[in-house]
Amino acid sequence: MVCAGLAGWLLVGWDRGVRRARLVVAGGVVDERETPWERLWLLVRERVRPEWLCVPAAGVVAALGESMVPLVLGAVAVPLVGRRLRATESERARGRRTDEVIALCGAVSGELRAGSQPGQALCAAVADTGVLGDAAAEVLAAARFGGDVPEALYRAAREPGADGLVGVAVCWQVSVGSGAGLASGLDRLEAALRAERDRREQLRARLAGAWSTVALLAVLPVVGVLIGSAMGADPLRVLLHTPLGLGCLVAGGLLEAGGLLWARRIVRTGAGEGA
């Protein structure tokens, strides 16, 4: 235990210089009061994916049931759980990017009404909101040096959740070609994007109950195993060490997977009809 603690402390100490460099480059502030254990926890959170926890959890079940079947199932579940977690992270990033585009429209409109030129207003808004991600450099260069701003916005709109930038590009083209007010167009675009976001939030709230039901049905088999263990029936031994139990385990797993897929399809169909 002492050697493991020393190794962890040395590992965190070695990573300290890297963290300091990252924070300095990013303009952050390094907290020297962090303990080695806090830095170790931050390092684990940065480098260990949540789906990897399926393996130790399956290892505990394998040890309790004295079988390698749960460990194999845990290893198979790692990529599936990882895919689901990445999809959730992507959806959250999409929502954040949509909010950033809405904020960008409001910021550019405010700068224009304050008397700034379109290029200056776009540069100031991008700097304030931090939107556009990797495409920010191209858009800023086009706005500062007289480049093709709409084309740069079109390319930036390819990112998930940045569809509203297409509207910004169209407003920019119309204002340059016909002399129409860019600020008023961006105000209408911001209102439309806000309404679309609110509609999606309402639909998500309506479907929350259905997703909760799906999650409850998914954990019922685990609850049944726990109740059987509490009653002294030893369900793990029956499921993992008898032919009938293994057959029930396979059949139950297939039915569980089919039920989850079916329920997810029903909920997504409802979401599509609501959209």
Of 221, 210, 185, nearest in space to 263 by CA: 210
pLDDT in tens, 212-270: 888 888 888 888 888 988 888 888 888 888 899 889 989 998 998 888 888 888 877 87
| pLDDT at residue 7, rounded to an integer | 62
Using a pLDDT cut of 90, give the percent of the chain over it.
Answer: 4
Mean pLDDT score, 147-166: 83
Task: Spell out the domain ranges in the chain.
Answer: 97-196
C-alpha 113/C-alpha 184 separation (Å) is 10
pLDDT of residue 204: 81
Helix ranges, the chain (H): 2-25, 36-47, 54-65, 69-113, 118-129, 136-144, 149-156, 164-178, 182-230, 235-241, 243-274
Share of the chain above pLDDT 70, in %: 77
Tell me the C-alpha distance between 269 and 275, whole Å: 10
pLDDT of residue 34: 55
Q: What mean pLDDT comes out for the span 44-67?
A: 79
How many Cα atoms within 13 Å fall on the side-chain side of residue 1? Answer: 0
Q: What pLDDT is attached to residue 247? A: 92
C-alpha span between 37 and 115 (Å, rounded): 52
pLDDT band for position 211 (cuts 50, 70, 90)? confident
- Find out whether 196 and 204 touch, Cβ atoms under 8 Å: no
- Work out the pLDDT band at 28, boundaries 50, 70, 90: very low
| Segment 122-143 mean pLDDT | 75
Residue 219: the pLDDT is 86
pLDDT tens column, 175-207: 876 656 788 888 899 899 999 888 888 888 888
Q: How far apart are CA 121 and CA 38, in angstroms?
A: 42
